[in-house]
Amino acid sequence: MARTDTGSAVHPVDEVLPPTRLIAFGVQHVAAMYAGVVAPPLIVGEAIGLPPLQMTLLIGASLFTAGIATALQALGVWKIGARMPFVNGVTFGSVAPILAIVAQQSGSANPLSVVYGAVLIAGALAFVAAPFFSRLVRFFPPVVNGTVITLIGLSLMPVAIKWIAGQDSEAPDYGAPQKILLGAITFVLVLLFNRFLTGFLNRIALLIGLLVGTLIAWPMGLIDTSTFDSAPLFNLPMPFQLGAPAFSFTATLSICIVMLVAMMESTADMIALGEIVDRPADEKTIAAGLRADGAGSAISALFGGFTCSAFAQNIGLVALTGVRSRFVVATGGGVLVLLGLFPVAGAVVSLVPQPVLGGAALVLFGSVATSGIRTLSTAALDDPRNGLIVAGSLGLGLIPVVAPSFYEHFPAALQTVLDSGISTGCIAALLLNLLFSHRKKTEPA
């Protein structure tokens, strides 16, 4: 426990660090999540064919609203916000449904309007449903918690690999030796910095690794400065700047399914984070966190963003650094807001090459999986029932990770759920635990 000036004990989650450390640790969180925030608007914007200025505004809106949602989660207002070091941003799970909605709006003056209407309603419904959904926490004993946390880490690994090798396996430079070399160098640097640096420098080892990796990438020709060409100095996101909400039942239903999956993942992430920071997420905390997801998504729709949910990679950063203060994450949210207001600053952050980010992410995501394994060590795995719960849940949860097209012939609504390994594994763990726990109680002695 940390102590205040008056000597009273303060949980590390509620500790307010000196300003310089708040900023440094906050920037580190932003560096870890930046690529994940800007990827969805980039993909959607390219699919629609937005001109460079509109694309810049769309990315700025995503950064701006991610910052608001993150600050809301970390600081809390009334019964909204988990008040944990919990980072929110645009969920990648919404990209495919949004692209499908946009395709259905061909010929429309602004296909994003229907998307914003659907996100607005889905966010409001998630806000209302939060206290009911949070009751799932009672079904998360250590065997379920540990399985889900482990699966979160393992499910993120392909993201890191794609950052290193490239997003398009058909591209000529996919898996280029220099990309893999750069990712490997960053990976080793982050490990070495975490092992040998001490004190404050140890806590920002990831940030140092990213900076050194970027400097190494410069003479290799892997720094992309094209973002500066279209990035204005300042832009204040305004409501409906990218389109006023319009409403479609099918589009709304599709995004509601996305929001349901996001709520399941956020619940799992909050439970995982609670284990890592030694403040277990109870029903009240999860309800408040899910309300922030819903409110953040609704606000995001007004300013031109998409559905907001937890960023699991930042849970890995908390596990890796041991910095548990929620005010660090709130500071990171403030940095995201500034990046949204000053797109040229966001262009500076985008200088970090994806192979560098991928090399660091391997350590981050591995840290999440390690936390899950640590939780599983308390779950009495010598009991065959618990072993089967873990085996079955990991097996099902890793299907979309190792074979992304496995469910491609299933209905779109089912694909939205099944294509998320975290959601699939979480549901499997819950159901298997209920099945085997019930049998354990009813079997005769």
d(CA 432, CA 426): 10
Looking at residue 336, its pLDDT comes to: 95
Mean pLDDT of the 374-398 span: 91
Give the domain ranges of the chain: 11-442
| Selection from 340, 290, 301 nearest residue 137 by Cα | 290
Looking at residue 443, its pLDDT comes to: 52
Helices (H), 240-383: 249-276, 283-303, 312-321, 326-341, 343-349, 354-376
Q: How much is the pTM?
A: 0.84
Strand partners for 416: none
d(CA 296, CA 291): 8
Identify which of 3-17, 150-164, 295-309, 334-348 has the greatest average pLDDT.
295-309
Angle at 394 between CA 433 and CA 170, to 5 degrees: 150
304: CB partners within 8 A, 6+ apart: 57, 58, 61, 62, 65, 112, 116, 237, 241, 242, 243
d(CA 357, CA 378): 33
Distances (CA, A) of 107 to 26, 56, 77, 104, 112: 42, 23, 41, 9, 12
Does residue 3 have a pLDDT over 60?
Answer: no
Model pLDDT for residues 275-290, shown as the tens digit of each residue: 999 999 999 999 999 9
Looking at residue 236, its pLDDT comes to: 84
| Selection from 438, 421, 437 nearest residue 379 by Cα | 437
- Inter-residue contact 45 to 58 (CB < 8 Å): yes
CA atoms within 13 A on the CB side of 331: 21
Model pLDDT for residues 391-426, shown as the tens digit of each residue: 999 999 999 989 988 998 988 778 877 887 888 888
The model's confidence at residue 439, banded by pLDDT at 50, 70 and 90, is low
Looking at residue 356, its pLDDT comes to: 92
Mean pLDDT of the 137-146 span: 86
Model pLDDT for residues 194-222, shown as the tens digit of each residue: 999 988 899 899 999 999 999 999 998 88
Model pLDDT for residues 61-90, shown as the tens digit of each residue: 999 999 999 999 999 999 999 999 999 988
d(CA 437, CA 440): 5
171: CB partners within 8 A, 6+ apart: none
Percent over 70 (pLDDT), the chain: 96
DSSP 136: G
Looking at residue 23, its pLDDT comes to: 95
Ramachandran quadrant class, 175 (left: phi over 0; alpha: psi -120 to 50; beta: rest) = left
Looking at residue 8, its pLDDT comes to: 54
DSSP 93: G
Q: Output the average pLDDT for the chain.
A: 88
| AA letter at 63 | L
Does residue 33 have a pLDDT over 60?
Answer: yes
More confident residue, 393 or 149: 393
- Inter-residue contact 289 to 341 (CB < 8 Å): no
The model's confidence at residue 225, banded by pLDDT at 50, 70 and 90, is confident
Mean pLDDT of the 415-442 span: 79
Looking at residue 43, its pLDDT comes to: 80
Looking at residue 390, its pLDDT comes to: 95
The model's confidence at residue 6, banded by pLDDT at 50, 70 and 90, is very low
Residue 15 phi/psi, 5-degree rounding, is -75, 130
Looking at residue 438, its pLDDT comes to: 56
Looking at residue 286, its pLDDT comes to: 95
Helices (H), 49-141: 52-75, 95-104, 112-133
The model's confidence at residue 260, banded by pLDDT at 50, 70 and 90, is confident
d(CA 63, CA 376): 35
Burial of 43 (0-12, 13-18, 19+ CB in 10 A): middle
